[in-house]
Amino acid sequence: MRRCRRALAGLLLAGLPLAAPVAAAERDVAYAAYQTGHYRRALSESLKRIEADSKDAAAMTLVGEIYRQGLGVRPDQTVATEWYERAAERGDINAAYALAIALLDTTGPRRDPDRAAVLMRRAAEAGHPAANYNLALAWLATGQPDDEARAIKSLEIAAKGGIPDALHALATLARQGRGMPRSDEQAARWMAQAAAAGHLPAEIEYAIMLFNGTGVARDETAAAKLFLRAAGKGNPIAQNRIARLYQSGRGIPPDSIEAAAWHLAARARGLDDPALAQLFDRLNPEQQGRAARLAADRIEGAALTSP
């Protein structure tokens, strides 16, 4: 556990939202207001709940979340941490997780990695998906085989709890044979689930697996569809791959204009390709103009839809 605490202290725990601060079964006025973006009302109703019941940990967690994100109020990490503390003391697992994240924040008012590790493990043992994912990262960071086996168990809980990053991690570990026997077939199954959940790196990696038939039946058409989906999100690797497929007509009908357009989009993101650049140069001015306009539209569209 000491190794895990040290590893957890060095992790950048970003990209994972907190779990819903109030249990789904408690869809009362405060929670409904929070879910619909009426944050001031959510705060008011939560405070009413706490005034009526000083043990209402779920309402305390909701108040902490509102202050953490600055939803309808000025962001205040100190106030948020105090509310998480009160809720965690009363047994709220979401609060325990949120407090662990706050105590790991290098810019936070009360950094305490050792206590954060204890809270993270408590939340993970209670089945909190994001806590299990972050704890798994800490176990993996130690580099010890026995910790890798622990990480797999936590990742499986996180994956069942709807964390796409956990599915992607499991697929990667299966391909590497870390914490489990090496298996391209198992890796493909987990990667497919992560891709279906919209995980961008998984979409690209599973597309490559489909194209090459690695751990799954070869399917160039399905691979092209995944590359196209990831390309539309602005990923330059996917844009380059789909451009090449349009150029060669593998998995998708050949189209020099589409190939050139996706090449220009990838190049705008810093990924050049001499062979595709030559294809663009061979187009006539009218075709080059069409490709450039398509690329501009896709670059703008990806920028507007990216989180």
In the DSSP assignment, the letter for residue 1 is -
Q: Are residues 122 and 20 in the same domain?
A: yes
Q: How confident is the model at residue 106 (pLDDT cuts 50, 70, 90)?
A: confident
Q: How confident is the model at residue 294 (pLDDT cuts 50, 70, 90)?
A: very high
Q: Which of 126, 156, 175 is the last residue of a domain?
A: 126
Question: Is 191 part of any domain?
Answer: no
Q: What are the tens digits of pLDDT across the range 140-172? A: 998 898 999 999 999 999 999 999 999 999 999
Please name the residues in contact with 16: beta carbons below 8 A apart, sequence gap of 6 or more: 130, 133, 134, 163, 165
Question: Is 52 part of any domain?
Answer: yes
Domain containing residue 39: CATH number: 1.25.40.10
Q: Which of 85, 104, 126 is the last residue of a domain?
A: 126
Q: Are residues 232 and 121 in the same domain?
A: no
Q: Average pLDDT over the chain, rounded to whole? A: 90
Q: Are residues 7 and 119 in the same domain?
A: yes
Which tokens is 102 given? Answer: 């706050």
Question: Is 166 part of any domain?
Answer: no
Question: Is 36 part of any domain?
Answer: yes
Q: Which of 126, 150, 173 is the last residue of a domain?
A: 126
Distance CA 267, CA 277 (A): 9
Stretch 271-297: mean pLDDT: 96
What is the residue whose two structure tokens read 């205040």?
76
Question: Is 190 part of any domain?
Answer: no
Of residues 6 and 94, which shows the higher confidence score? 94
Question: Is 169 part of any domain?
Answer: no
Cα 30 vs. chain centroid, distance in angstroms? Answer: 27
Which tokens is 147 given? Answer: 């910790």
CB 171, CB 145: distance < 8 Å: no
- Ramachandran category for residue 27: left, alpha or beta (phi over 0 → left; psi -120 to 50 → alpha): beta
Q: What angle do CA 76, 79, 83 make, to 5 degrees?
A: 135
CA distances from 103 to 62, 125, 233, 275 (A): 18, 19, 34, 50
Q: What percent of the chain lies above the pLDDT cut of 70?
A: 89
Cα 233 vs. chain centroid, distance in angstroms? Answer: 14
Q: Are residues 8 and 119 in the same domain?
A: yes
The total domain count for the chain is 2
Q: What are the tens digits of pLDDT across the range 184-200? A: 999 999 999 999 999 99
Q: What are the tens digits of pLDDT across the range 9-64? A: 445 444 344 444 444 434 479 989 999 999 999 999 999 999 999 999 999 999 99
Q: What is the pTM of this model?
A: 0.84
pLDDT computed for residue 304 by the predictor: 65
Question: Is 181 part of any domain?
Answer: no
Distance CA 4, CA 137 (A): 9
Distance CA 203, CA 94 (A): 30
H helices of 177-273, in order, are 184-196, 200-212, 220-232, 236-248, 256-268
CB 156, CB 130: distance < 8 Å: no
Domain that residue 11 falls in: 2-126
What is the residue whose two structure tokens read 């619909």?
36
Question: Is 198 part of any domain?
Answer: no
Stretch 201-210: mean pLDDT: 98
Helix (H, G, I), strand (E, B) or coil at 139: helix
Which tokens is 229 given? Answer: 């989906």
